[in-house]
Structure 1
């Protein structure tokens, strides 16, 4: 049931993540310097970001496969984690937001496409506190599957949902920081919808695995 729905959910999760109030408003600052250094540099940043998330999917899948002998305990952990993530999204609890302001990387002076790639990879890690609840839910489902290829694919799809809005901002002169702050307000209702979906998946796993 969820295996067919999960790719769509992963893409939606990426879109919800980028609408986070601590990510969306600083995207123009991230790309302002980059576009001056070449029209393909934003693509390099997004590619680095996608590579960062995909690596997380591979690593998580490997860990999940390693603990397949303890699948029962892994399922219980996943159920608790998914329900917790759902509650955190519904009530907007920033349980992962411990690093404060992430705009310090916006003015990175790394040059060229390689610099953009490295910047994107770094952002994938530095922005983890902003997307922790949503991304953590995706990684939890990936870990339970224990399939490396599946994990890489799902996190790549997640990164597409994350990257496409970023590219629209990067290559559109109509998006200013003030406008994006207004758009980011829609992230709150979307996070609540995602929270109910994630919590529902958690309770469904409890029902399927124990009842």
Structure 2
């Protein structure tokens, strides 16, 4: 690992930031109200399914990066530019596909834990446009590392940063949709702060992995 890498703490924090998205946070009470009626452990199964989706993404991205490790200089440059781009996307709110991420996937027919698992896996895909900038930035860093096991681990940690607050919301009777909608109003400040961090990370990657080696 070099200074251009991503740490488990950063991955967990990124997951927690992702949950503040206005097309994720306000929907959680409705999703879990439906889910808990199907079984008390169904929210746990949803988070597990979500973790499986993100972990698979980490494996695939790391495998891609591992295959192209001989072109690490170019891969690092591309990843740095991608991260900077997503940083500006967050700062200037350029994500135009969030409306596609408002699907809840509550039409999954399977009941119980299996249904929750399938719902969680589908949410991991459905919410990609909404949490895309942060998720894609982590995936770009994982690709540069090229370590499949570590990539899977980091994306699992990311999913825990997203999933643990989801479980708190699922099992809290005092958190309503209106409360979460009010919290989501501060998403703009969270996103802009995250955007600044991503731009700095991208610039550091370009400096430490590209310009220093030229």
Same fold (TM over 0.5): yes
Q: Structure 1: give runs of 5+ residues left out of the alignment.
A: none
Residues 1:28 and 1:121: Cα distance change in structure 2 (over 3 Å)? same
Q: Report how many residues are paired.
A: 210
Q: Is the 8 A contact 1:86 1:199 kept in 2?
A: yes
The aligned counterpart of 1:113 is 113
The aligned counterpart of 2:199 is 199
The aligned counterpart of 2:14 is 13
What aligned pairs does 1:1-211 form with structure 2 within 5 A after superposition?
2=3, 6-97=7-98, 99=100, 101-103=102-104, 105-208=105-208, 209-211=210-212
SS in 1 for 2:106: helix
CA RMSD of aligned residues (A): 1.6
Which structure dedicates a bigger proportion of its chain to helix?
1
- Cα offset, 1:107, TM superposition: 4.6
Q: Is the 8 A contact 1:29 1:106 kept in 2?
A: no
- Cα offset, 1:168, TM superposition: 0.8
CA distance in 2, matches of 1:67, 1:106: 39
Residues 1:198 and 1:135: Cα distance change in structure 2 (over 3 Å)? same
- Cα offset, 1:177, TM superposition: 0.9
Q: Give the TM-score normalised by structure 1.
A: 0.94
Q: Give the TM-score normalised by structure 2.
A: 0.92
The worse-fitting range, judged by mean Cα deviation, of 113-122 and 91-100 is: 91-100
CA distance in 2, matches of 1:128, 1:110: 23
Q: Structure 2: give runs of 5+ residues left out of the alignment.
A: none
- Deviations along 1:130-174, one digit per CA (max 9) or x if unpaired, are 000000000000000000111011101100110011101110111
- Deviations along 1:27-81, one digit per CA (max 9) or x if unpaired, are 1111111101211111000000011101100110000001112212211211110
CA distance in 2, matches of 1:2, 1:185: 33
